[in-house]
């Protein structure tokens, strides 16, 4: 019996090492990712028919806030499991009219699965109903309100208030919207009600909103980053480099559609069997492959698939899994964050928490199993943070190149549940960014955005409208 146990232990160790090797990316590999991304950025900016996996979509936002914006605006934030409506008031600072202060009120509405996987009329009708409920509660039904609409899905923007949906992501699959102008669809739903006086003057991606929000107080903010349910980035590019838009002077904020990086095969060398399984079982196979290695919608599933393989090979749980473990989606990304947090804070109590989570999944773990699960969560989390770091470093170097300077400070406005709630992600990412940018002359700071998606959209609306309530 002993030789069998020893053989099993040796096999388990070998399997763990193999998985660790697959998930580990050294600096040389990460710099290769950076170089590939920079090439894809240039390719994507050059032609609308490029083979780049990065969308590099013009946002038609040509500048960051200057601080003179004032007024009352409505902001809509759509991009995850909830829909948020905000009233944004940009006012003079009490003792200094040259400075502004922002007052906000907001309400969150859930998005039922029947809505996000229904049809266009039902979806936008529901959105309009939520807006009306908010306006009614705040006495705004008769007030003219310019609206900034944060729409966190891939868009082809043809103007500041014109955005054609390219594809749904993050579990959304509303029929009749792809290829349509979402501003027109929302406007039609609002007009059909006939009880509100609001006008959508700007549609922006959540990354653009995040960058705009942070730029109000951070003059070096040139990049916006979201790491939450999905993953995306934007940055300020020289207009002369954006060949899809006329103009030689000034800047243009580019929505990179970072989540799609690698959809053309350029990341195949670092994608694992688990990445491929997550992709093949998703609602959008072969799309948003970078996002599926990083974002909150997929980290838990990556961990689950690795645990399933370890279980089937007899490396954990004595080879005995459970129905829940083998059911897609049952290992939540929130579990990954909880396990990382408790294990960092207190290993003993961390094992208790891990044990409780695994028991909820119908498993009977021992301490070795708990340690193995923590190791898997950490490996998946670290790879995600390091890949994200490579993306940020690549974009920052592009910004520096545009300014033709030896050294430059770049601030990244960042938001998203993974960045906010995962206990080690932000630290792992910032440390790796510093390593990857060492010797390049780029200094990068991260600033957490507060209500960035909404406030940023309102700031864009403010720049486009002089009407106030």
Whole-number Å distance between alpha carbons of 29 and 36: 11
Backbone phi, psi, residue 452, to 5°: -65, -45
Backbone phi, psi, residue 28, to 5°: -65, -45
What pLDDT is attached to residue 90?
A: 80
Q: Quick check: is 104 in a domain?
A: yes
Q: Quick check: is 133 in a domain?
A: yes
| Distance set, CA 89 to CA 62, 128, 413 (Å) | 22, 21, 21
What pLDDT is attached to residue 327?
A: 97
| Distance set, CA 361 to CA 297, 298, 325 (Å) | 19, 18, 6
Whole-number Å distance between alpha carbons of 454 and 74: 9
What pLDDT is attached to residue 122?
A: 96
* pLDDT, tens only, 14-36: 899 999 999 999 999 999 999 99
Q: Quick check: is 206 in a domain?
A: yes
What pLDDT is attached to residue 467?
A: 38
What pLDDT is attached to residue 343?
A: 58
- Number of domains making up the chain: 1
* pLDDT, tens only, 161-206: 999 999 888 788 999 999 999 999 999 999 999 999 999 998 988 8
Q: Quick check: is 160 in a domain?
A: yes
Ranges of residues in the chain with a pLDDT under 50 are: 1-5, 7-8, 466-469
Query: Is there a contact between 182 and 170 (Cβ–Cβ < 8 Å)?
Result: no
Whole-number Å distance between alpha carbons of 272 and 261: 16
**Catalytic site positions:** 170, 206
Q: Quick check: is 17 in a domain?
A: no
What pLDDT is attached to residue 2?
A: 37
Strand 221-227: give its sheet, edge to edge: 57-58, 251-255, 231-238, 221-227, 408-415, 442-448
What pLDDT is attached to residue 469?
A: 42
Q: Quick check: is 329 in a domain?
A: no
Whole-number Å distance between alpha carbons of 290 and 311: 27
Whole-number Å distance between alpha carbons of 177 and 182: 7
CA 322, 296, 313, 279 torsion-angle sign: positive
Q: Quick check: is 445 in a domain?
A: no
| Distance set, CA 367 to CA 21, 310, 341, 349 (Å) | 23, 16, 17, 11
Q: Which two tokens stand for residue 317?
A: 């749980």
The model's pTM is 0.84
Query: Is there a contact between 450 and 86 (Cβ–Cβ < 8 Å)?
Result: no
* pLDDT, tens only, 377-425: 999 999 999 999 999 999 999 999 998 888 999 999 999 999 999 999 9
Written as one string, the DSSP assignment of 314-361 is: TSSGGG---TTTTSTT-S-HHHHHHHHHHHHH-HHHHHHHHHHHHHHT
Range of the domain at 192: 71-214+452-462
- Residue 460: how many CB atoms within 10 A of its CB? 30
* pLDDT, tens only, 51-66: 999 999 898 888 776 6
Whole-number Å distance between alpha carbons of 219 and 453: 18
| Distance set, CA 334 to CA 83, 300, 324, 329, 338 (Å) | 20, 8, 16, 12, 6
| Distance set, CA 291 to CA 88, 148, 466, 468 (Å) | 31, 26, 38, 39
Whole-number Å distance between alpha carbons of 88 and 276: 42
What pLDDT is attached to residue 72?
A: 85
Burial 405-443 (b: 16+ CB within 10 A, else e): eeebebbbbbbbbbbebbbbbbebbbebbeebbeeeebe
Q: Quick check: is 313 in a domain?
A: no
| Distance set, CA 240 to CA 43, 50, 406 (Å) | 14, 17, 21
Three-state DSSP state, 221? strand
What pLDDT is attached to residue 9?
A: 56
DSSP state of 245: S
Q: Which two tokens stand for residue 285?
A: 């196979």
Look up the CATH number of the domain holding residue 205.
3.30.420.40
Q: Which two tokens stand for residue 405?
A: 């300077």
Whole-number Å distance between alpha carbons of 204 and 187: 16
């Amino acid at each position: 019996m002993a030789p069998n146990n020893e053989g099993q232990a040796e096999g388990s160790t070998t399997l763990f090492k193999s998985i660790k090797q697959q998930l580990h990316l050294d600096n040389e590999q990460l710099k290769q990712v950076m170089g590939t991304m920079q090439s894809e950025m240039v390719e994507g900016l050059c032609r609308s028919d490029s083979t780049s996996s990065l969308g590099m979509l013009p946002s038609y936002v040509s500048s960051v806030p200057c601080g003179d914006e004032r007024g009352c605006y409505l902001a809509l934030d759509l991009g995850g499991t909830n829909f948020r409506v905000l009233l944004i008031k940009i006012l003079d600072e009490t003792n200094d009219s040259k400075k502004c202060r922002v007052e906000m009120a907001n309400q969150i509405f859930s998005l039922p699965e029947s809505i996000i996987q229904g049809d266009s009329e039902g979806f936008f009708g529901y959105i309009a109903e939520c807006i009306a409920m908010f306006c009614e509660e705040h006495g705004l039904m008769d007030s003219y309100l310019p609206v900034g609409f944060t729409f966190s899905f891939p868009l082809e923007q043809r103007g500041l208030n014109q955005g054609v949906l390219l594809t749904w992501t993050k579990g959304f699959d509303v029929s009749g919207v792809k290829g349509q102008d979402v501003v027109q669809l929302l406007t039609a739903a609002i007009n059909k009600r006939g009880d509100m006086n609001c006008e959508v003057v700007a549609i922006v991606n959540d990354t653009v909103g995040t960058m705009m929000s942070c730029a109000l107080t951070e003059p070096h903010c040139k990049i916006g980053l979201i790491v939450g349910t999905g993953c995306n980035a934007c940055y300020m590019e020289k207009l002369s480099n954006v060949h899809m838009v006329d103009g030689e002077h000034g800047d243009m904020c580019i929505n990179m559609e970072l989540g799609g990086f690698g959809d053309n095969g350029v990341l195949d060398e670092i994608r694992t069997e688990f990445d491929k399984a997550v992709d093949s079982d998703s609602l959008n196979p072969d799309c948003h492959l970078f996002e599926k290695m990083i974002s909150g919608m997929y980290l838990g599933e990556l961990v689950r698939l690795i645990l399933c393989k370890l279980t089937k090979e007899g490396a954990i749980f004595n080879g005995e899994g459970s129905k829940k473990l083998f059911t897609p989606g049952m290992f939540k990304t929130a579990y990954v964050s909880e396990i990382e947090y408790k294990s960092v804070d207190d290993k003993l109590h961390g094992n208790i928490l891990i044990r409780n989570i695994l028991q909820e999944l119908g498993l009977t773990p021992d301490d070795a199993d708990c340690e193995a699960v923590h190791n898997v969560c950490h490996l998946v989390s670290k790879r995600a943070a390091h890949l994200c770091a490579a993306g940020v470093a690549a974009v920052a170097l592009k910004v520096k190149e545009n300014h033709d300077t030896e050294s430059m400070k770049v601030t990244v406005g960042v938001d998203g549940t993974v960045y906010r709630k995962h206990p080690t992600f932000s630290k792992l990412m910032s440390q790796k960014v510093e390593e990857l940018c060492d010797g390049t002359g780029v200094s990068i700071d991260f600033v957490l955005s507060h209500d960035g998606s909404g406030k940023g959209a309102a700031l864009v609306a403010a720049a486009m409208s002089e009407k106030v309530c």
